[in-house]
Amino acid sequence: MITMFQYNWMIREEWFELCKQMPTEELLRNRIGGVGSILYTLFHISDVEYSWIRGIQGKPDIQVQYKNDMTLQHVKELSDRWLHETKAFLQTWSDDFDRDIVTVPWSEERYTKGEILRHVIAHEIHHMGQLSVWVREMGINPISANVIGRGLFQDVK
């Protein structure tokens, strides 16, 4: 499962690099479908991942409000900072935790830690698909979503 997080982070990094080539007005333009703009989508992906990971750990959710003056660099810095904490947590992960029940402050439901992690993985992949549609509409080739050929499974026997 951690390999799929690594996949998502690799793809996210490639999206940040691609977005550096786009005009700011295209990053901020409100799009049909999804959560809004390209920049807000990148923020949302990182924010949701960080919130759920903190929720699994029983830590309080840190609310960072997306502001209209956010830049690609600022969103990337937030993503990198949150990623550091997420990686540290996932290094302690054991499949024995998969069925542990947790609650989070923003929901009255109970979830297993395993279903939360899988939700976070699928959530990012879903939004990356939306980004792909939006940049194609701009005449830009999107980041490849291929898992194959990225070297993620070289240690698997």
144 found inside a domain: no
**pLDDT score recorded for residue 157:** 56
Q: What is the pLDDT of residues 25-80, one digit of tens each?
A: 999 999 998 899 999 999 999 999 999 999 999 999 999 999 877 899 999 999 99
Number of domains comprising the chain = 1
113 found inside a domain: yes
Whole-angstrom distance, CA of residue 106 vs CA of residue 58: 12
51 found inside a domain: yes
Q: Give the structural domain span for 9.
A: 2-137
Average confidence score pLDDT of the chain: 94
Strand partners for 102: 111
DSSP state of 101: E
> Encoding tokens for residue 60?
């309080």
User: What's the CATH code of the domain at 128?
Assistant: 1.20.120.450
> Encoding tokens for residue 34?
């999804």
Q: What is the pLDDT of residues 76-130, one digit of tens each?
A: 999 999 999 999 999 999 999 999 999 999 999 999 999 999 999 999 999 999 9
> Encoding tokens for residue 97?
């935790």
133, pLDDT greater than 60: yes
**pLDDT score recorded for residue 156:** 56
